[in-house]
Structure 1
Amino acid sequence: MFCLSMYVPVLDQSPAEFQYFESDGLPSELKSIFSLSVLVPSQEFSTYRTWRQKIVKAGDKDRDGQLDFEEFVHYLRDHEKKLRLVFRSLDKKNDGRIDAQEIMQSLRDLGVTISEQQAEKILKSMDKNGTMTIDWNEWRDYHLLHPAENIPEIILYWKHSTIFDVGENLIVPDEFTVEEKQTGMWWRHLVAGGGAGAVSRTCTAPLDRLKVLMQVHASRNNNMSILGGFTTMIREGGFRSLWRGNGINVIKIAPESAIKFMAYEQIKRLIGSDQETLGIRERLVAGSLAGVIAQSSIYPMEVLKTRMALRKTGQYNGMLDCGKKILLKEGMAAFYKGYVPNMLGIIPYAGIDLAVYETLKNAWLNRYATSSADPGVFVLLACGTISSTCGQLASYPLALVRTRMQAEGKPWHISHCFWDIVWH
């Protein structure tokens, strides 16, 4: 049983008087949000109300709005594991202690530059023995009753608890640091991701085209198999026909990724708070809205991709010719066929994808991480694969309706297309 080595003010005593508690001797009235206020620094109630609510929300297993003793101890154990990961991340020298230089370096990595005097001020707020270094016990005691779980959140806690001024307009970025944005790291990251996406989409293009063909042509009377689909494509247009539609699929990566990234960043700041990172529900909303904005911007390219994948040999002389013929024959509205089911599908796909990814990643860190807060590329790949699969399973019926509507030359209503699929 670990010891809660903190001095905390008691409700019925003056702020200057303190009582020492161990975890197995906490007062029985430690249940509600209000009684939790005795366990945080005696500053303004409004400043710490959100933090106390986060503690109760994280530890309240039975969802009764209160923390009993068992729930509180369970929360402290889980939170201590997360704090240890952050401590090891800050301990650049791996000597079990954090000094002013390591704090300065960690903040610099996040795009925040402070002086040595400011770093020492942070140290003094945690340093109990006057060594101007922080060991694990001092680190844990200082942060244990604050819900910060990562370095950006802890920086914000330092800012409030030590009057540490990092600029009122600065928001510690969730995705990219200020320095990374100033040096162009963010767009290099997008370019690298776009390049990786182009390679992966090109490698899987035959499967993607087969999927489109099966979505449009397969029915109860036309049971198309995987082998039969590939055979039909090769016989009709040769081996190169397996990559029809891949060009437009690769081209749309850049605008779609850039728009989604910028929209996601802005939406996070609109629905969230400068003082804390977004929760799962907020991430779901932000991810879904960002997906809607990105897809709305590039949707005509989605229609072109479907038509190019379904085309027969000699039907179109490239993407521009395809777009021109669609415009002349069907009008501008043709480029937005299937738009409604596509937008409805974004909500479960983008939202579930992001939410499941973050949940799996955090669950792995809580259970298996011991020496680093970085899960590693293989864990992230597995989390991404599972989350993407969950999102696609949830949105697939709408994706099927969308593809059918994009492929048809005649106008379709979403309900008519849905029932046509069901009955045929």
Structure 2
Amino acid sequence: MRYMMTYDLMEATRNANQWLGATAQSFASYPGVSMMPNPMFNWLASWGKVTERTFQRMVVKPDWGIRTVTCADGRDHLVDIQTVVEEPFGNLIYFKVPGRDIQPRKVLLVAPMSGHYATLLRSTVASLLPDCELYVTDWHNARDIPASKGKFDVEDYTLYLVEFMRHLGPDTHVIAVCQPAPLTLAATAYLAEQDPDAQPLSLTLIGGPIDPDATPTEVTDFGRRVTMGQLEETAIQRVGFKYPGVGRMVYPGLLQLSSFISMNSERHADAFSGQIQREMRGEAGEHDAHNRFYDEYLAVMDMTAEFYLSTVERIFKNGEVAKNEFVVDGHHVDIGKITNVAVKTVEGANDDISAPGQCIAALDLCTGLPDSMKASHVEPGAGHYGIFAGRAWRDNIRPLVIEFMNANSTKPARKSKAARPANRNVAAAS
């Protein structure tokens, strides 16, 4: 019960600020106030509207907002999001497009569990949907999972990926974005040993910390500075009485958000000040650039304490994946056992979260894979989010990923060293 009070205090503070915003907007928008032509009331109403929306979004899971997709036939088709595998800590969902031909590429998009919902990849999903049969990992908010469901750490995460890959079958292309890259690589290696026939056709790792020490960043430096005891003492709390996961130890989303914002506090302050001014001038809209960004950015989810702590300790501090020492369910996962799954890495030249060098380290770990099945790409001028969203992704990276999947649409004989083209950005030539 030690940390339950602080969890409830954070929620009460958030709720109070949402109420203050709503109250200010209601008071300053009252018709009688218009009899006093003072710009203060216009500012107060605008402040209240922005404040209420801001604090409300912190506890709301965003909608995917992908209702239609334009396909090769030139027609708009409805998108039906279906749950195909349901588990306590995360589901496998399928973006079904009724009325169109089955696409030749079946893709599993592994979303990060790093404080935000899978909807953070909304633009990535929308860009892949016209050409792929798309499946996405939809992780659950830990506060909503009863403590009776047990733990969830990096090993459980890896086993979930193994289950999802087995369900989809060997004709699948896997794309992992950011945080899950090392665990997706480990899950593929696990299948290579335990169930070779279930391995995917290809694996694309985008901006993931395979070897965090390859190129240190502020994130890796933080992981080195703090001890596990300090992290557990300052970051971990128990879910309060309001949610189904009452009593579960978590790294709260609201606490994560405070650290996100503190890293760029001046920029965020300027953004909200500007939005209040736009509200005052009547220039703000429900789906303007500010609201589109912050509706997603502010929507945070709790992570289980064991997942957060094991990620920091085993992936960043101990570098178990980077050293090929990762263990899942008592079994040492040897990444060198991957022999017939094409692997591609994508990095952003200006990525300050997972810097260039961290992700491409995966190719050196795949000692059993011929160079013809390895590929890499570094996107000039792209930051972390740019390599899976925005113009850099749409114009440059996505076509390379599609090309890579097309080039590896069939699986060669196991352990075959026969050369075949992976894509034009072959790692051996880079």
TM-score class, shorter-chain normalisation, is under 0.3
Greater relative contact order structure (CA < 8 Å, 6+ sep): 2
More strand by share: 2
Work out which of the two has the higher radius of gyration on C-alpha atoms and give 1 or 2.
1
Provide TM-score, normalisation by structure 2.
0.24
Provide TM-score, normalisation by structure 1.
0.24
